[in-house]
Amino acid sequence: MKFYYTYVLRCADGTLYVGFTHDLKARLRGHKEGKVPTTRIRLPVELVYYEACRSETAAIAREKQLKTGFGRAYLKRRLS
């Protein structure tokens, strides 16, 4: 079974970046090497949270949920 991941990075400027991928290790490596434009200017980044999902659709839905006000509050509680 193939898994997809919703993940959260803490950037050097203190912000959180939320994304999804099917290969978490490769995606994290891309972020850390500055190959992802969105986080390139906020290096270094640190993986602080991730969830495995059974489908790409579920991972995208969870990513969208974590980007809402409720999701940001959830992450703040979870990461403190």
Q: What is the CATH number of the domain that holds 37?
A: 3.40.1440.10
Whole-number mean pLDDT of the chain?
96
Residue 1 has what pLDDT?
Answer: 84
Domain range holding 10? 4-79
Residue 73 has what pLDDT?
Answer: 96
CA distance readout (Å), 14 to 10, 36, 60, 76, 77: 6, 17, 23, 12, 15
Please write the tens of the pLDDT for every residue from 12-45.
999 999 999 999 999 999 999 999 999 999 999 9
Mean pLDDT of 1-17: 96
Is-contact 29 9, C-beta < 8 A? no
Indicate the number of domains in the chain: 1
Residue 76 has what pLDDT?
Answer: 92
